[in-house]
Every structure is written in structure tokens, then in C-alpha cells.
Amino acid sequence: MSGLADIWIAILSGALVCAATGLAMAAVRTPLIARLRKVQPALRAAILLAVITAPLAMALATATFIALSSHGTAIDLVPHHCHVNAAGCVPHTPATPTPMLSLFAGGLLTAVLIWVPLMVGVGFVRMARALRLLRQASERHGDAAERVLGTETPVALASGLLRPQLFLSRGLLLHLDASELAIVRTHEESHARRFDNLARLLASALSLGHTPRSVRALRQELVLAQEQACDRIAADRFGAVETAETLLKVERLIDTWSAEACHGAAFVDAPATARVKALVAPDFAPLKRNAAWFAATLLAVSAGIFLVAEPLHHEVETLILILQG
């Protein structure tokens, strides 16, 4: 490293990568979502979480690589200047950490270091408060693990982050038979085992760089993928048709219910039409093909970061040197 200025340059380069990645994903959001709809739900949920956190993750990877690089590697692709004497390069004195550079780059780093833990902390507090209120408004149902809410509105949700708990309403217990309740329980228990609420929180806290519209669209797709994954687990145990019929029955019973009010994964979080189609007429590409596509994309992104890091470092440093006179 060349010192403090190199760290600031690394942070500014990471910020540019973050913004560029978010804008690029906004441009391809519609075809990307259409492509992901062909991926099996469980894998799609993981991919969507990676996509949502990609701008920030790529920014951190780029900044780390630049900050730790010797800047004299074989991939020094920008010919107009470099940190070592080499053919076609004009060596220069590294940029100095001026107060303005330190204030700007340090401010960006401080904002990220404050924002991400703050959003995660707020999410944990809200979920803990919601879970406490749900427990106060419910009671144990015999020897069952779930708790029963004293409302006639049909409700089924898993609330909590690290140890999610299942809540059913009295209205749901009255309207569903034993086999239908078993499907609902299996679905919600799957949310708990998969830590879907935690994934939603991370998707919200680590979505820096995306446009607001992209965040909303990708989070909706994440919720749909999670619901379809849990539907499939229930269908594998009780049958696809039976699971689809239970889903439609619960949806018809519910007039207005928002899982966001309790910060949990509710049984009817996502549109029923797409979930029923995924159960009774699945149209997903083979798992191996999707996994290979995901792995190839990760490798391509990693290679892209490796190749763009040094040129980006030089361009940012050149601009800073110009501004410093």
C-alpha cells in the first residue's frame, strides 16, 4: 500500500463500483427477474439475496483488493501512469491524503459503517418487539410448539430471527381440518428452519447501491422464492395439489392481513397464482444447470473485479492528482 491516500482511493473506487452495479442491475432488472423465475425456489432465494447485496459486496471486494494491492502487478492495464517504472508507463508520486480527500472518503466509509449495523440493529429490535407482542396476545395450544392468537382472522406466521416461533390464529384452527393445518405448520416451520426472516432483514440492510424501485422488486421476488420453497417442502410431504388447495383456501379466508405488521413470514405473503403454478405446473430449469449458471456468474464477477480494480484505482488517483494540482 502507498499509505492513507491509497485507502481513501480504494473507498472511492468501491463507491463507484457500488453505484455502477446498482444502475446496471436497474437497467437489466426485468429480464433478470424473468430469468430467475426459471430457477428452483430454494436456489433462487439464495441467488436473489446475493443479487440484492451485490453492489455493496462488490464495492467491498474492489476496495479491499485496491487497498491491499502493490499496484505493480501484471494487470496494470492503464498505460498513462503506474506506481513502478515499466515500459509505456509514466511513474508518479502517489496522491496525498489531503483534508478534503480524507473528509469525503472517510465520510463515505463512516456512513456505511453506521448505516449497516444501524439497519440490522433496528430490524432485530422491531422483530423482538413484535415477537414479544405476539407472545402476549397468544397462548400455548396444548403440547404443540406453536402459540394460538385470539383472533378470528385466519393467521399463520413464523416470527423471530434466530429462533423463529410459529403462531396460528383461532380463526385458522376453526376453518382448516387436520391435514390442512399440517400443511400450514410444515410451511411455517420451513420458514423457521431456513431463517427466512433473517434473510429478509439482511436483504433490507445490505441493499445499498440499488435504486428504490430495484430494492422493492427484488425483495418481492425474494419473498416469493421463499414462499415457493416452503410450499415445495410441504408439497413433498403432503402432495402438490393438497398444498395448493390449502393455500387457496387460506387466501380466500383472509380479507386484509399484512405480515409486515408482525415482521414475520406469513402463509400468504406472496401472490397465490405464482405459488400454485409452481406447485401444480412447475417450469423450472434443471437444478444442475441453474447451479452451474450461478457458479459461472460468480466466477465472472470475481474475474471482473480482479481486472477492473487496478485501472479503476489509476483513474481515480489521476483525477485526485489533477484536483490537487
Helices (H) and strands (E) in the chain, counts: 11, 5
Closest CA to 92 of 318, 325, 323, 324: 318
Q: Which residue has the higher pLDDT, 248 or 262?
A: 248
- What is the C-alpha to C-alpha distance for residues 151 and 141, in angstroms, rounded to an integer? 14
What pLDDT sits at residue 260? 44
DSSP string for residues in 105-136: HHHHHHHHHHHHHHHHHHHHHHHHHHHHHHHH
What pLDDT sits at residue 12? 93
Domains held by the chain: number? 1
Contact predicate 126/263, CB 8 Å? yes
The grid coordinates of residue 276 equal 400454485
- Taking CA atoms, 10 is separated from 15, 207, 251, in Å, by 9, 20, 50
Closest CA to 196 of 278, 264, 261, 267: 264
What pLDDT sits at residue 211? 95
List, for residues 108-164, the tens digit of each pLDDT value. 999 999 999 999 999 999 999 999 999 999 998 766 678 999 888 888 899 999 889
Backbone angles phi, psi at 202, to 5 degrees: -65, -40
- What is the C-alpha to C-alpha distance for residues 299 and 271, in angstroms, rounded to an integer? 33
Closest CA to 158 of 168, 144, 169: 168
Confidence band of 72 (pLDDT split at 50, 70, 90): low
Confidence band of 316 (pLDDT split at 50, 70, 90): confident
Averaged pLDDT, 94-116: 87
- What is the C-alpha to C-alpha distance for residues 165 and 135, in angstroms, rounded to an integer? 9
Full residue range of the structural domain in which residue 307 is found:
4-324
What pLDDT sits at residue 321? 77
